[in-house]
Structure 1
Amino acid sequence: MRKKLTLAITGIATALALTACGSSSPSADADATLDPANPVTIKVGASPVPQAQILNYIDENLAKDAGIDLDVVEIDDYVTPNTSLQDGTLDANYFQTEAYLKTETEEKGYKFAHGAGIHVEPMTVFSKTFKDPKDVTEGTTVLLNNDPVNQIRGMRVLEQAGLLQNLADDDSILSVQDDKDKNPLSLQLKDANAEQVVQYYKNDKSIGVAVINGNFIVQAKLNKDEILAQESGENNPNANFLTWRDGEETAAIKKLEELLHSDEVRSYIEETWTDGSVIPAF
């Protein structure tokens, strides 16, 4: 049985801590035998696109025979998935990268474990105003993600496109804004929550360039002709993975981790996102 919910960042995630549907609860033994006739339910929080889509594909095509049942909880922000995993509302989540989880763990003390990379959503530079990075004019307003990990990641794509240069690993828009060595075009660097960047780009004509996370690109159905530059998927350390509470890798979670790296899921990703906006990382 599968449910789709959307949790907001306001704390409703805790209030909606529902008992998972299914005929049994996850076993604490990672080596326990799973029974397709008596599937174990796993409640997994995920970004709607592509993570929830991938999980739904597994739930509809692979989970039953594997002895698991996925309860997919769609979450639109980057905070709730971890807070809900921490408080036990979720059994696992699927939305984040190694660098993001490291930062969150250092700030909030999470004790999580995670699996191997599943897919990469390349950071992409969009513009309605310019057709080529070389056309970007001095003083253009550029919008980036405001979380530190994805902000420097986006700035790296701008650097690859020639719009920024000589970046350090700990740079931010504040440190680069007035540095002519790093920001030779005096770009007006601004930031917003990841889920808001695409909306500002679509609706605010003052935004000349925006660096957008791959999952929001797919969700918003942005025009591919507006792409100025895109992060490479080759040897990319920013793959998304399945995360669970440390010490709680149940047999069901172990099986889901296996299915997420199956040939069927690889083929599903390649055949669904033919534009390269989502790339297998295994």
Structure 2
Amino acid sequence: MRTTSFAAGATALVLAMTACGAPSEQSSGGGEGGDAPLRVGTMPVPHGDILSFIDENLAEEAGLELDIQEMSDYNTPNAGLVDGELDANYFQHREFLNEWQENGPDADLTYVTDVHIERLGLYSEGVEDVDGLDDGAEVAVPNDPANLSRALRILEEEGLVEIDPEAGENATENDIVENPQDLTVTPLEAPQIPRSLADVDAAVVNGNYAIEADLTEEANILAWEPEGEDYVESYANGLVALEENTDDERVQKLAELLGDERVLEYIQETWEGVVLGVNADGEVAEVEGSEDEAADEE
């Protein structure tokens, strides 16, 4: 079963969440465990596609029934866990989860397992390489804190800006201390950036939105984000559940299936290096041809 749910608005959701009781005080809403379908909140691409692959090819053999609920913004899946509408979600990395919990309701959401990384890339419609960016060029970046910092690190890696070292993992455009080309760095809502690419000189785009907008086929890829020492730990998207539900047999089954070699192969074959699978050792899996392609594009 695959259903679709759309967000009503992040602000309203946060206000509504604060009015809810603790998760243990809320109705299970059908997530009573056992043989009940596991309700998983997710983004359409690539998360929803990966879950659908599991649902169609692996879940029945494992004795797992999935209720995949696709959503359109980054706040709804965590809100769904808090209010008891979901049993798990799969859409976020640890940095985003930490940021959300610091600013959201008092709830213990737990990261269960790593699955994949969506590489941030610097894209352009009119510029073919980084050296082609003129002085005063405008570069759009995601405005959510975790991905804004990642985007700025791409610009820094390419020598376009220098970030204050003390900014750490929470760097914003205000932490740019050197900007030799006087670039205009414009934070935008991540889903809007692909539609805005024609209006700027370049943009850093999340992998899922780049795939949805066919940017990997239709735009120039100027650079990929650097893979630092803590790349997987910080930015791998994975399965999340309420702490009290992490031992749910259905959650554990899905975690196991998400790490199946057949899922890793599906990721590799479908997204060819824009999405990177994470293997059982917690390392980025090798994607045949991706390094050569990236080198050519850079």
Q: Same fold judged by TM-score > 0.5? A: yes
Match of residue 230 from structure 1: 224
Residue 134 (1) aligns with residue 131 (2): yes
Match of residue 89 from structure 2: 93
How far apart in 1 are the matches of 2:28 and 2:133? Answer: 50
* TM-score normalised by the chain length of structure 2: 0.80
Using the TM superposition, give the Cα deviation of residue 106 of structure 1 relative to its aligned residue in structure 2, in angstroms. 1.3
Moved over 4 A (4+): 11-14, 17-20, 232-235
How far apart in 1 are the matches of 2:190 and 2:64? Answer: 32
Using the TM superposition, give the Cα deviation of residue 116 of structure 1 relative to its aligned residue in structure 2, in angstroms. 2.2
Match of residue 261 from structure 2: 263
Mapping of residues 50-129 of structure 1, within 5 Å: 50-108=46-104, 109-129=106-126
User: Aligned with 2:113: secondary structure?
Assistant: coil
Mapping of residues 1-282 of structure 1, within 5 Å: 2-10=1-9, 20=30, 25-27=32-34, 39-108=35-104, 109-168=106-165, 169=168, 170-176=170-176, 179=177, 181=178, 183-201=179-197, 204-205=198-199, 207-224=200-217, 225-232=219-226, 236-237=231-232, 238-249=235-246, 250-274=248-272, 276-282=273-279
Supply the AA of the counterpart residue of 1:51: H
User: Aligned with 2:86: secondary structure?
Assistant: coil
* TM-score normalised by the chain length of structure 1: 0.85
RMSD: 2.2
Is the CA contact (8 Å cut-off) linking 1:40 and 1:67 kept in structure 2?
A: no
Supply the AA of the counterpart residue of 1:231: E
Supply the AA of the counterpart residue of 2:223: A
Is the CA contact (8 Å cut-off) linking 1:93 and 1:244 kept in structure 2?
A: yes
How far apart in 2 are the matches of 1:77 and 1:262? Answer: 27
Kindly indicate which of the two structures has a greater share of residues assigned to helix.
2
Supply the AA of the counterpart residue of 2:80: S
How far apart in 2 are the matches of 1:88 and 1:210? Answer: 37
Using the TM superposition, give the Cα deviation of residue 41 of structure 1 relative to its aligned residue in structure 2, in angstroms. 0.7
How far apart in 1 are the matches of 2:275 and 2:228? Answer: 12
Using the TM superposition, give the Cα deviation of residue 73 of structure 1 relative to its aligned residue in structure 2, in angstroms. 0.7
- Count of residues in correspondence between the two structures: 257
Supply the AA of the counterpart residue of 2:186: K
| 1:214-240 deviation digits (Å, cap 9, x = unpaired) | 001111111445110012457523100
- What percent identity do the matched residue pairs reach? 33
Is the CA contact (8 Å cut-off) linking 2:138 and 2:186 kept in structure 1?
A: yes
Supply the AA of the counterpart residue of 1:26: G
Q: Relative contact order: is structure 1 or structure 2 higher (C-alpha 8 Å, sep ≥ 6)?
A: 1
User: Aligned with 1:139: secondary structure?
Assistant: coil
Give unmatched runs, 5+ long, in structure 2: 17-26, 280-298
